[in-house]
Amino acid sequence: MTATEERQLVFQGAESKVYRCLYYGMPAICKERFPKAYRSPLLDQRLREQRTTREARNLVKCREKFFLRTPTVLAVDKKKCAIWMEYIEGGKTIKECLDEEEEKIANTGKITLQTVKLLLSMGFVIGRLHSAGVVHGDLTTSNFMYCEEDDTFFQNNSTPSETIPLEIPQEVLAQISDNTENHSSIRVSPASIVILDFGLVPEKNNEEERAVDLYVLERALLSTHPFLEHTSTLLLLAGYQAGAVHSVAATANNHNREKERRQKWKATLTRLEAVRARGRKRSMVG
C-alpha cells in the first residue's frame, strides 16, 4: 500500500468513505469506494473502478489544464477503488462560511460583501468548470471550499492566483449592509475556491446536463441557506456568466472560442428555464 495504514474516518457517503491519513508522511485524504452487496460482484467492481478512474482524471484535468483549484491527486489504486489526495489546510466549506454570515444577515436584514464574494466566486468557478467540459453532478455548498492560503501549483504556474473584477447585479447592490464605499464590482480570486468530490460526474456534457447541474445547486442553496432566497440565484448566475466566457490560460490565445463559449452559456441558461419549469410542475403534481 502506498500510504500508511493508520487512518481516521471523516465522512461516509452513499458510495464511498473518506479517511484522513498520511501519504509518505504527508497529511492526505483517502477516498475509497466500497462494494455494494446488491450488485453482481463483477459489475460492482467494474462500476467502482470506472467511477474512481473518471473522478481522478477529472480532478487532474480541471487542475492542470484549466487551472481550477482541486485537491492534488497523489495516487490511485484502481483495484481498491481508492484515490489519495492532498489534505487542504486552513479551508472551510462554502456552507460553513455562509452559515457564519447568516447571523450578521439576520441582524441587519441585508447581505454582507463576504456573502456576495462567496457566491460570485462559486458561480465563476462553476462557469469555468462547465466551459472546461466537466459537469460536476453534485453541486452543493458543501462541495466547495474557501481557502485564502496560496496554492503552490498556482504560485509556480504561468497563471498565478489571479483576481478578477466581477460586477455586482444591480438588484443586489441595495441589499448589501457593509458596502460603505458603494462598490459596484468586487474582485474575486478563483484560486481561493477549491472544488471537491467529482464522484458523480456524468459521461455526457451538454446544455441539459449543465442546466440540471445549476438547478440542483439552486435548490440546494434554497434548502440549506433560505436566508439567501432573494439573492443567491442572481449572484450565482452573474458569476457563472463571467466564468463561462472567461478565457482560461490554456485557451487564452484562442480568441475564436469566445463566441463558442458565449453560445454555450446562453444555451445552458435557456435550458435552465425549461428545467426549472419541469421542477415546478413536479412540485405541483407532488
In this structure, are strands 193-195 and 144-146 parallel, antiparallel, or unpaired?
A: antiparallel
261 and 131 Cβ atoms separated by less than 8 Å: yes
Nearest to 82 by CA among 114, 51, 119: 51
Among all chains, which residue has been given the C-alpha cell 489519495?
84
| 59 Cβ neighbours under 8 A, 6+ residues apart | 70, 71, 73, 83, 85, 198
What does the DSSP assignment read for 219-249? HHHHHH-GGGTTTHHHHHHHHHHHHHHSPPG
How, if at all, do strands 73-77 and 82-86 pair? antiparallel
What crossing angle do the helices spanning 113-131 and 232-245 adopt, rounded to 10°? 40
Residues 6+ away with beta carbon under 8 Å from 215: 272, 275, 276, 279
Known catalytic membership, residue 197: no
Q: Which of 138, 150, 151, 213 is catalytic?
A: 138
Please give the helix or strand (H or E) that residue 30 lies within, else none.
strand 26-33
Catalytic residues: 138
